[in-house]
């Protein structure tokens, strides 16, 4: 099956943006977990569109209907299937541009891949609408991990040129990690909100869009999880992150900055605190040789600016084979990175849960 991730915990996502609904099938989720429905709803609400001017005005309630795998609020261990209805589609926005390739979007490549049978309305299966069931699955995994003292949190590290503070890579507490997710706008430095909203609004009013970076961290991660070479924790996480639409870069720890440091600077010296091996710095992002070190796992994920913008752009009609100019209609996020923050948390939680279940840890 396509659009699936995981080995022991298999999460499969289905649906199209303007079809009847979207959903997830989660196979391998442990039995006996009581789902905190309120917490799950709050988490899903963080991704929901239509809340303010930083997101698309499309209004969706995003309430999952659980069809199987949960009885009286407790997971059964059998496949969990959930559907989310699509309610606020404006398919007419896509009528005239059915064969005009939106620059930066997947219309043309989707047409090639599916011989013209892909649903282009609202981006079809390429739409970020599909991240709603991903967030549902990730929300369950977050609860599973939290019961084991493992916390996943993320924030908007930057939008265009505006920077937030960064997580403390060594002494990060669960409270600091989760604080941005409890705010209406997911930043660490509260004054960054106004600056970021400003730059997004300026782009929106100009019919343009901006990109951003999401920083994610995992605390309480047991040491010794993962494998070298292709099954590295970096590899498994990056595979998940690149499943999120609009992701164009992933780095761990110091990332590309490590290439500019001397070994003496980049190496994280070991020491022992309360009988536990730790490092004094965390340029390695909690992963060495593909295996967790016990330090916080730290990653940054770069999101490109939203491809659908109102500014006229040159493109082609790939059926008529004609060059043309198009102005994208419809309702779009002026900065996808804002709503992507819980999506990054969800993917991280799914991958970490899968790794732990696979290794029986
Ligand atoms: C949360 C989120 C919201 C998005 N909203 C939009 C949108 O409103 N309009 C749009 O054109 N693209 C949006 N995207 C990005 C497109 O889905 C994505 O760029 C497109 O599918 C092409 O895939 P690629 O950028 O990964 O190559 C969004 C992405 C995310 C993660």
Over the stretch 221-261, which tens digit does the pLDDT of each residue have? 999 999 999 999 999 999 999 999 999 999 999 999 999 99
Structure tokens at 297: 């796992």
- pTM score: 0.96
pLDDT given for residue 92 in this prediction: 62
Q: What is the mean pLDDT of the chain?
A: 94
Distance in Å, CA 317 to ligand 1 centroid: 21
pLDDT digits (tens, 9 = 90+) for 20-74: 999 999 999 999 999 999 999 999 999 988 778 887 876 767 889 999 999 999 9
Q: Quick one: what percent of the chain has pLDDT higher than 70?
A: 96
pLDDT at residue 93 in the model: 59
- Give pLDDT, residue 13: 97
**Å from CA of 6 to ligand 1 middle:** 23
CA 336 to ligand 1 center in whole angstroms: 7
Q: List Cβ neighbours of 260 (8 Å cut-off, separation of 6 or more).
A: none
Q: Please tell me the predicted confidence (pLDDT) of residue 355.
A: 98
Atom of ligand 1 nearest to the CA of 244: 31
Q: What is the CATH number of the domain that holds 211?
A: 3.60.150.10
pLDDT above 90 for 182: yes
Residue with CA at minimum distance from ligand 1 atom 25: 246
275-312 tens-digit pLDDT:
999 999 999 999 999 999 999 999 999 999 999 999 99
CA-closest candidate to residue 314, choices 302, 304, 323, 305: 323
Ligand 1: does its nearest atom lie under 6 Å from the Cβ of 293? no
DSSP for residue 102: P
pLDDT 10s digits, 89-128:
666 655 555 799 999 999 999 999 999 888 888 888 888 9
For the chain, the domain total comes to 1
In the predicted model, is pLDDT for residue 162 greater than 90?
yes
Report the atom number in ligand 1 closest to the C-alpha of 242. Answer: 26
pLDDT at 349: 98
Cα→Cα distances 3→10, 65, 205, Å = 10, 20, 35
Q: Ligand 1 center to residue 353 CA distance, Å?
A: 26
User: Residue 1: pLDDT above 60?
Assistant: no
Written as six digits, the tokens of 57 are: 């005005």
Q: Does residue 88 register a pLDDT over 80?
A: no
Query: In the predicted model, is pLDDT for residue 202 greater than 70?
Result: yes
Is the beta carbon of 245 within 6 A of some atom in ligand 1?
yes
Q: For position 91, what pLDDT does the model report?
A: 61
Task: Give the C-alpha separation, 132 to 145, whole Å.
Answer: 20
From ligand 1's centre to the CA of 34, what distance in Å? 33
Enter the tokens of residue 233. 């924790």
Q: Is 134 in the pocket of ligand 1 (CB under 6 A)?
A: no
Ligand 1 pocket test target in 306, 309, 327 with most atoms within 8 Å of CB: 306
Between the CA of 306 and the centroid of ligand 1 the distance, in Å, is 6
pLDDT tens for 302-344 read 999 999 999 999 999 999 999 999 998 878 999 999 999 999 9
Angle at 181 (CA atoms; ends 208, 67), nearest 5 degrees: 95
In this structure, which residue's CA is closest to atom 11 in ligand 1?
A: 308
Domain that holds residue 177: 4-358
User: 338: Cβ below 6 Å to ligand 1?
Assistant: no
CA proximity to 351, closest of 215, 238, 252:
238
């Amino acid at each position: 099956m396509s659009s699936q991730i995981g080995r022991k915990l298999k999460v499969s996502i289905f649906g199209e943006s303007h079809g009847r609904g979207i959903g997830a099938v989660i196979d391998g989720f442990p039995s006996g977990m009581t789902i905190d429905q309120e917490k799950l709803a709050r988490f899903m609400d963080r991704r929901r569109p239509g809340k303010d001017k930083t997101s698309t005005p499309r209004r969706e309630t995003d309430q999952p209907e659980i069809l199987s795998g949960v009885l009286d609020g407790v997971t059964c261990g059998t496949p969990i299937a959930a559907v989310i209805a699509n309610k606020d589609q404006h398919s007419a926005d896509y009528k005239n541009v059915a064969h005009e390739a939106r620059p930066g979007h997947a219309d043309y490549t989707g047409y090639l891949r599916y011989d013209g049978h892909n649903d282009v309305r609202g981006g079809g299966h390429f739409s970020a609408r599909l991240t709603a069931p991903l967030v549902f699955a990730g929300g369950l995994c977050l609860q599973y991990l939290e019961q084991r003292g493992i916390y996943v949190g993320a924030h908007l590290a930057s939008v265009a040129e505006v920077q937030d503070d960064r997580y403390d890579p060594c002494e990060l507490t669960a409270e600091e990690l989760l604080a941005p997710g409890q705010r209406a706008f997911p930043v660490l430095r509260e004054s960054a909100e106004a600056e970021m909203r400003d730059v997004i609004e300026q782009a929106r009013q100009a019919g343009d869009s901006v990109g951003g970076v999401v920083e994610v961290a995992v605390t309480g991660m047991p040491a010794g999880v993962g494998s070298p070479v292709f099954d590295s924790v970096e590899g498994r996480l990056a595979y998940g992150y690149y499943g999120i639409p609009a992701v164009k870069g992933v780095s761990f720890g110091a990332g590309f900055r490590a290439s500019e440091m001397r070994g003496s600077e980049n190496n994280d010296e070991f020491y022992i605190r309360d009988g536990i091996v730790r490092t004094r710095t965390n340029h390695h992002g909690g992963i060495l040789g593909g295996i967790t070190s016990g330090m916080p796992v730290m990653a940054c994920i770069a999101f490109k600016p939203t491809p659908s913008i109102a500014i006229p752009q040159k493109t082609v009609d790939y059926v008529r084979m004609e060059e043309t100019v198009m102005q994208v209609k419809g309702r779009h996020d002026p900065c996808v990175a804002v709503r992507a923050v819980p999506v990054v948390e969800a993917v991280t939680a799914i991958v970490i849960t899968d790794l732990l279940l696979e290794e029986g840890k």
